[in-house]
Structures are given as C-alpha cells and as structure tokens.
A and B are shown apart, each in its own frame.
Chain A
C-alpha cells in the first residue's frame, strides 16, 4: 500500500478508488454485499456467505464481487444481503438463508428478476 505524506496524496488515492468503482458499475458488474456484523453472523450470515461463494464457484460465474459490511440497523431482518447490478439501484434482501441466497443468485443475478418475497423495503 502507498504511504500518504500529504493531502494531495490522499486526494489521489481517493480519485483512483473512485475511478475503480466507476469502472465496476459501468461494466455491469454485480456486487453482492453481505451484512456481517455480530447480529448478522449470529443469524447465520457466514452460512449465507459460504452458500453464495460455493454457488458462484459451482456455476463458474464471472464478474461478481462479493464483499462484507457492518450492521445496517435492521437486526430483526438479518442475515441481510444487498445486490447491485451495474448502475441499477441497490436491492436489499432480508432473512437470507443459504437456500434463499441460491435462489437470489439464480433469479436475480442470472435472470434479472428480483426475488420479491425477500425484499426489505427501505
């Protein structure tokens, strides 16, 4: 990692990161974010994450980035998974068990149909 010695360095790194992100969204890449705070993990987010990674490996899917984040405040609906396809608006799913995660990958990521019965209205 580069060492930052001035405000300009910080600005440059920020712009590079911004460009990287822009390239991701315009190329139609899929970003899957699993909420992995303690509440999410207690509700089974690790299993959900595992199921997502396994399914991606099984089906040889490409162009998908899987990341984690903290608690978004809806502890009641954990495990929560958020999906962004390209520059489309983010879709938030609640109570995502491994089975539901596979369904979401199948229907939302591959076919573009949102799995309505697990969407959390925000």
Chain B
C-alpha cells in the first residue's frame, strides 16, 4: 500500500506557469523518483495559492513550509534537504509576509501538522467518561463556576458573540446572536435544547463527544441556561446512540449528586436541570422545530416559521436549540476568552471543526482541525491518500443534504464563508470521499431514495419533489432518461429549495444541482450514449 507521508504542492496560476512552474513540477517528479521517494511523497500542481510575490511557489506538507520563488535548478537541493534528509531548506523559503486567506493559516500552523488542534475533543479518549472526578481534574465545571460567580448573563453572551462561534450543525448561525434573541424575550420559562439527533448519514462527531466527554455538554447547557435565563434543558439524543444515552444518564446523575445540576448551583440562586429525550430514528427530527414537536409528544413534523424557536419554541416558550459540537465549544471559550478562540481558524469562522472522514481513503476516522483547512490537505495528510492510489473524484460534505465538491474545488478553504462563496455548503462535518470509480448518477440516486423515504410529507414540494427526483434518477441510471429530464431535475431542485417548509426539502435538491453543475457530461453520457462511464449503473435500455 502507498502510504503518503509528505505532500508537495506547486502553484499553478498563470503567472507561475509563465515563470516555469511546469518545469519545476517536472524536476520535482524526477528528483523524487531519483531519491526513491515515489511511494511516500505525492506531488501535484494546484491553482492560485493566494499570494503572488514569490512565484512559482512550492509548499511542502506536513511542515507547511512555503518555498519560493523556486527555479528548476533549485529542486535537487530542495528535495535532498527537505524530503530526503528531513530538514527545512531555510535559504529557499519564501519571504515572511503579512498574509491573508488560506496561505496565512498554512503559515500560522507551520510545524504543527499533522498534530490536530483539539478544543472540542481535548478530553475525549483521555478521560473515563463515567467518572466525574476525571472531568473535574481536566478543568471540568471551572467554566460554569466562573460564569456563575464572576460574570453577568450579558457578559457571557457578549463573550460568545466576540468569539465568533457559529453553529456546528451545518447552517453556521452565530451562536451569540441566537442566545441574545432568547435572552431578550420576557418570559418566566425558557428552555435550552441540545440537538444530539445527528442523523446525517456519515456524521458521527456528536456521538464521539457524547460518548467520550458527556459532562462537557451538561456544563455548556448550564452556562447557556444562565446566559439566557432558562432553568430547564433537554438533550434530544438519537435513538440508536444507546451508549451515548447510557453515559449521559450516568453523567447527569453524578452532576446532580455533586450539585452542578439542581437548585442553587455553586451557592448562587441559579437552578438548572436536564432531561434526556430519545429519538426514534427519524431523519426529520434533527430539524429543530420537528425536534421540538417530538419532545412535546407530537408527530415529528417541522413547524412553519416565523415564529422562530427563539420566541416560540418548546411548549411555546423561548428556546435555544444548539448542536452538540457548538455547545462543546462554549466552556473553553468562557475559560480562555474570546481572543484566544479567535486565534484558531479563519477570521469569518473562528475555531475548529470536527470532521468524520469516510469513503475510498486509506485511513477513516475523526479529526478536529482549525477551520479553513482544505479538502486536499485532509485527504492527503489525515486520510493518508486515496485507497489503491485511485484518483479523487468528488467529496460530499455534511451528509446527504451536503454539497458535492468536485476535484476542482478541493483547494477551497473549508470555512462557512469561503464555501458559500464557491457555491457549496460545509454542512455538519461528514466528509464522504469518493474516487474515480464512483458513478455520480448512482450516488445521487441513492441520496434521492434516502430523501424520498425521510420526507415527513407535510409540504408538497418536498414530498412529491423528492419522489419525482428519485424516479428520474432511476430512469437515467437505467438508460431510459431523456435530455429534458435534466431541465426537469433542475426545476425540481430549484422549487424544492424555494418552496419547502424546512431544511430537508430545501437541501434535498443540492446534490442534483451540484451534479448538473460539475458532472453534467457524465450524466449526459448515461442519456445520450446509454453508457455509464464508470460501469456502475446497470443500463437496461438494450437488455
């Protein structure tokens, strides 16, 4: 098996090409072969690297050393020093400069890769989740104590606002703003809900947090309760997460016994308690208003908005609904301050993100890295390259409703704003990585089947749209498709986006839109030539 330990990128914008980037790439390939490193080092050309003062540039990972300008005659020395002997060729490094964007953060974590930056997962895999003492030993409940004894609710909200924390469930809504909406409501009763339904296929980051560090969620919910003036909280856990439920129950019991939950916490007049509510396996119940309906004992169908849950939530009271990972970020922000948190990630999306890696890669698993890492870095550094050396074709971020990211976008920094600018969505943090043997028609067909089954049926665009989309995708996959079907698909996805009541219908068309935007030729081959280029679909037209 090829195990890539180092990745070399050559800048490939027009100026670099004019200055001989092709020759540098060629020289790198030759030298790496000459040193016998072909199986350990990958070399590739990328697009614009974001700075233009020392082109062509060569970036070597995992050290993230930026070399430039590099001439073909420098390459032998560079490969010998850095890749063969393993030390940075200082005299070739690009001048240090005030940087912005992607390269800024590449430079900022110089020497820190492949170590991840763990904030949310800092205790997971280190402590015994069933023992509250170990949690306390690792700074547990200190943030709650600090908040209750030293800060006013308003100060807490301001600190969270200042940190720039954005919701990690997929939409990226600013957490501080959400809290302030609930805080300013005049109601005697308010609720905090932790959304742990995590039903996006392929996402399991919340499970890792709940199973490995349940007390951090309890602490964060109590902090949120103090900030907005709520005294009761619900954790809505996905029904399949039996171990997470068991550990949460134990954790809540222990927290009650030690007085972190209940009446007069830390000797103040703040009281807070938490209930666990388990889901029953419906995808739609991860949507916040359907989740609220489900807690109330009704059928899990989304409500019409407005009013939003921040004014009319659980039992009609103002309610904060936060994702598990969002909440897990709260205690460290309170303890270390907003400025500390802003040191990680990008200016628009500070902090870290937990990703679950799955698909055709050598190493699958969980990582927590600063916002703004690129897909190429994740695949080559953390996932150790594609399985069997196959080429990367596309990635789906954030489960079924996420975007399809083609290879041409793999150098886009993964943060909310950069992805929005590129017309894709970051989603909940699942990275499904597919190689060249994946048929995009087959993939989208499977996704549509999922949506068709999970649609709650409350509104027409979603209930009928997903079913129609699935039928058309089946027809295309079997070679019965017509060119007009593609227009119909686009029309469907557009209308589902505009007219559906909730996030399920609004995002169900995303894979279709992305498929037709980035892989149209492959879809048309199914229709016009009755051929599946990857040989996955069983074309029945001539059978």
Stretch at the interface among B69-77, B134-142, B527-535: B134-142
Q: Majority SS of interface residues in chain B?
A: mixed
Contact A7 B145 (CB under 8 A): yes
Q: Please report the C-alpha to C-alpha distance between residue A76 and residue B254 in the assembled complex, in whole angstroms.
A: 32
Contact A6 B149 (CB under 8 A): yes
Residue interface mask A59-100, B partner, CB < 8 A = 1:
000000001111111111000000000000000000000000
Residues of A near B127 (CB, < 8 A) are 69
Contact A38 B365 (CB under 8 A): no
Report if A70-B266 is in contact (Cβ < 8 Å); known contacts: A7-B145, A13-B133. Answer: no
Contact A37 B208 (CB under 8 A): yes
B255 CB to closest chain A CB (Å) equals 10
Contact A10 B136 (CB under 8 A): yes
For chain B residues 124-153, which have a beta carbon within 8 Å of chain A?
124-134, 136-137, 141-142, 145-146, 149
Q: Please report the C-alpha to C-alpha distance between residue A5 and residue B264 in the assembled complex, in whole angstroms.
A: 8
Contact B125 A69 (CB under 8 A): yes
Residues of B near A70 (CB, < 8 A) are 124-125, 129, 208, 211-213
Asked if B521 is an interface residue, CB under 8 A from chain A, the answer is no
Contact B145 A14 (CB under 8 A): no
Contact B266 A6 (CB under 8 A): yes
Report if A4-B259 is in contact (Cβ < 8 Å); known contacts: A73-B125, A75-B366. Answer: yes
Residue interface mask B385-409, A partner, CB < 8 A = 1:
0000000000000000000000000
B322 CB to closest chain A CB (Å) equals 21
Choose among B142, B211, B212, B254 the residue that contacts A10 (Cβ–Cβ < 8 A).
Answer: B142
Residues of A near B45 (CB, < 8 A) are none
Q: Please report the C-alpha to C-alpha distance between residue A4 and residue B137 in the assembled complex, in whole angstroms.
A: 14
Asked if A101 is an interface residue, CB under 8 A from chain B, the answer is no
Contact A17 B365 (CB under 8 A): no
Contact A4 B260 (CB under 8 A): yes
Count residues on chain B whose CB falls below 8 Å from chain A CBs.
Answer: 42
Residue interface mask A1-30, B partner, CB < 8 A = 1:
111111100100110011001000000000
Q: Please report the C-alpha to C-alpha distance between residue A68 and residue B129 in the assembled complex, in whole angstroms.
A: 8
The winner among A4, A10, A73 for most chain B CB atoms within 10 A is A73
A37 CB to closest chain B CB (Å) equals 5
The winner among B121, B145, B149, B364 for most chain A CB atoms within 10 A is B145
Asked if A43 is an interface residue, CB under 8 A from chain B, the answer is no
Choose among B116, B146, B212, B257 the residue that contacts A37 (Cβ–Cβ < 8 A).
Answer: B212
Q: Please report the C-alpha to C-alpha distance between residue A81 and residue B366 in the assembled complex, in whole angstroms.
A: 17
Q: Please report the C-alpha to C-alpha distance between residue A1 and residue B259 in the assembled complex, in whole angstroms.
A: 10
The residue of chain A having its C-beta at the shortest distance from the C-beta of B116 within the complex is A73
Asked if B367 is an interface residue, CB under 8 A from chain A, the answer is yes
Contact B211 A71 (CB under 8 A): yes
Choose among A3, A67, A68, A74 the residue that contacts B365 (Cβ–Cβ < 8 A).
Answer: A74
Residues of B near A69 (CB, < 8 A) are 124-129, 212
Asked if B316 is an interface residue, CB under 8 A from chain A, the answer is no
Q: Please report the C-alpha to C-alpha distance between residue A67 and residue B127 in the assembled complex, in whole angstroms.
A: 9
Choose among B116, B125, B141 the residue that contacts A35 (Cβ–Cβ < 8 A).
Answer: B125
The winner among A35, A37, A75 for most chain B CB atoms within 10 A is A37
Residues of A near B257 (CB, < 8 A) are 1, 3
Asked if B267 is an interface residue, CB under 8 A from chain A, the answer is yes
Q: Please report the C-alpha to C-alpha distance between residue A82 and residue B125 in the assembled complex, in whole angstroms.
A: 10
For chain B residues 237-278, which have a beta carbon within 8 Å of chain A?
241, 243-244, 254, 257-260, 266-267
The residue of chain B having its C-beta at the shortest distance from the C-beta of A2 within the complex is B258
Asked if A41 is an interface residue, CB under 8 A from chain B, the answer is yes
Residues of B near A33 (CB, < 8 A) are 128
A93 CB to closest chain B CB (Å) equals 14
Contact A38 B211 (CB under 8 A): yes
The residue of chain A having its C-beta at the shortest distance from the C-beta of B126 within the complex is A69
Contact B125 A68 (CB under 8 A): no
For chain B residues 11-54, which have a beta carbon within 8 Å of chain A?
none
B26 CB to closest chain A CB (Å) equals 33
Choose among B146, B204, B254, B368 the residue that contacts A1 (Cβ–Cβ < 8 A).
Answer: B254
Residues of A near B267 (CB, < 8 A) are 5-6
Q: Please report the C-alpha to C-alpha distance between residue A6 and residue B146 in the assembled complex, in whole angstroms.
A: 10
Contact A17 B136 (CB under 8 A): yes
Contact A17 B128 (CB under 8 A): no
The residue of chain A having its C-beta at the shortest distance from the C-beta of B132 within the complex is A1
Contact A3 B259 (CB under 8 A): yes
Asked if B207 is an interface residue, CB under 8 A from chain A, the answer is yes
Q: Please report the C-alpha to C-alpha distance between residue A12 and residue B450 in the assembled complex, in whole angstroms.
A: 52
Asked if B536 is an interface residue, CB under 8 A from chain A, the answer is no
Contact A7 B266 (CB under 8 A): yes
A residues sitting closer than 8 Å to B (CB atoms) are 1-7, 10, 13-14, 17-18, 21, 33, 35, 37-38, 41, 67-76
Q: Can you sample 23 A-B contacts with CB below 8 Å?
A: A2-B258, A3-B258, A5-B259, A5-B266, A6-B149, A10-B141, A10-B266, A14-B137, A33-B128, A37-B208, A37-B243, A67-B128, A69-B126, A70-B125, A70-B213, A71-B124, A71-B212, A72-B124, A72-B125, A73-B124, A73-B125, A73-B208, A73-B367
Closest 6 CB pairs of A and B: A70-B212, A72-B125, A73-B366, A3-B259, A17-B137, A5-B267
B residues sitting closer than 8 Å to A (CB atoms) are 116, 121, 124-134, 136-137, 141-142, 145-146, 149, 204, 207-208, 211-213, 241, 243-244, 254, 257-260, 266-267, 363-368
